[in-house]
C-alpha cells in the first residue's frame, strides 16, 4: 500500500502498489466497491473520504481536532469501556465552556461496512454520554470520490435514525431503543411522518388509535416505531 495525495475532488487515500503501474503512468485507483481491494483497505478509504468531507463541512468552525481513528474517553458511558476509537471525529475548541449547541463537544462518524459487528446501541450511548454527536455512515453516504455532506446535514436536521445529537438524544434512550441504523432513503417516512416531535412540550398520553398506532389524547399526535426503534410522529390533521 502507498498513500496517494488528495486533489480538489478526491480525499487522501491508499492504493495497492500493484495498481500503480509504472511511475509515469499510474492506473486509476479502484472504486469503493471494487473486488480488487480488501475489506480493510476499502473501509479505510471510506474513512478518509469522511474526514475530507467533514473538513469541508466544518471549515468555518473553531475546530481543535479533525482526524480518523482517534481515541475518545467514554468512561462516563454505560458500557464497560473507558475508551473507543472513532472512525472519524471532529472536536471543537473549548468544548467544556463553549459547547456547540447543536453538535455538542464534537461529532463522531462511524463508517458501517461489511462484517462490522459493532454494538450500535452501546457505541452510540457511550459517545452521547461523552457529549458527542454520532453519525452512522453507510454506502449511500458516499460517491466514488466524496462523503455526501448534504445527506449528513439532512440526517441531523430531520433526526434520521442514524444521526444522534445530545440536544435531542441521550445515552439512556439510545441504549434502550437503537436496534439498527442501516436504512436507505426509500425507508424514510412519508411526507406526513417525521422523526421530529411536533409537540415536544406535551408528555403524550397515549391511547391505541383506530389503525393500531398510539395516539396522544392531549395533542392528537399519532406515533409509531420506525424499524430502527426510533419514534416517528404524525401531527393532528396530517393526511
For residue 124, which of 135, 112, 114 has the smallest C-alpha distance?
135
- Which residue is listed with cell 458500557? 79
Quote the DSSP letter at residue 211: T
Q: What is the pLDDT of residue 91?
A: 94
Rounded to an integer, what distance in angstroms lies between the CA atom of residue 146 and that of residue 46?
A: 9
Q: Is residue 90 within 8 Å of residue 51, measured between CB atoms?
A: no
- Which residue is listed with cell 398520553? 205
Give, for all 239 residues of the chain, the pLDDT tens digit: 444 444 444 444 444 333 333 444 444 444 455 444 555 888 889 999 999 999 999 999 889 999 999 999 999 999 989 999 999 999 998 766 667 889 999 999 999 876 566 888 999 999 999 999 999 998 889 999 999 999 999 899 988 888 999 999 999 988 887 776 665 555 566 667 878 888 888 888 888 765 677 888 889 888 888 777 778 888 776 65
Q: What is the DSSP string of 41-103?
A: HHHHHHHHHHHHHHHHHTTTS-EEEEEEEEEEE-TTSSSS-SEEEEEEEEEESSTTTS-BTTT
The string of pLDDT tens digits covering residues 13-46 is 444 333 333 444 444 444 455 444 555 888 889 9
Q: What residue spans define the domains of the chain?
A: 2-183, 190-239
- Whole-angstrom CA distances from 49 to 11, 23, 55, 74 are 5, 25, 10, 25
Amino acid at each position: 500500500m502507498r498513500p496517494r495525495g488528495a486533489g480538489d475532488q478526491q480525499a487522501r487515500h491508499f492504493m495497492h502498489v500493484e495498481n500503480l503501474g509504472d511511475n509515469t503512468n499510474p492506473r486509476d485507483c479502484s472504486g469503493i466497491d471494487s473486488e480488487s481491494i480488501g475489506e480493510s483497505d476499502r473501509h479505510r478509504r471510506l474513512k478518509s473520504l469522511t474526514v475530507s468531507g467533514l473538513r469541508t463541512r466544518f471549515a468555518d468552525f473553531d475546530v481543535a481536532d479533525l482526524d480518523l481513528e482517534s481515541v475518545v474517553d467514554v468512561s462516563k458511558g454505560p458500557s464497560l469501556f473507558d475508551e473507543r476509537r472513532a472512525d472519524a471525529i471532529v472536536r471543537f475548541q473549548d468544548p467544556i465552556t463553549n459547547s456547540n449547541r447543536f453538535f455538542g463537544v464534537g461529532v463522531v462518524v462511524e463508517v458501517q461496512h461489511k462484517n462490522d459487528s459493532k454494538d450500535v446501541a452501546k457505541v452510540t450511548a457511550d459517545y452521547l454520554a461523552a457529549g458527542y454527536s454520532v453519525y452512522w455512515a453507510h454506502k449511500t453516504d458516499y460517491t466514488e470520490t466524496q462523503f455526501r455532506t448534504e445527506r449528513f446535514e439532512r440526517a441531523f436536521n430531520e433526526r434520521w435514525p442514524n444521526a444522534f445529537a445530545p440536544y435531542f438524544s441521550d445515552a439512556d434512550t439510545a441504549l434502550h431503543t437503537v436496534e439498527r441504523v442501516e436504512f436507505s432513503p426509500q425507508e424514510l417516512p412519508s411526507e406526513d411522518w417525521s422523526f421530529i416531535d411536533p409537540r415536544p412540550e406535551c408528555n403524550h398520553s397515549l391511547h391505541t388509535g383506530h389503525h393500531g398506532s398510539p395516539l396522544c389524547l392531549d395533542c392528537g399526535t399519532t406515533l409509531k416505531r420506525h424499524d430502527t426503534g426510533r419514534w416517528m410522529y404524525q401531527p393532528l390533521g396530517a393526511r
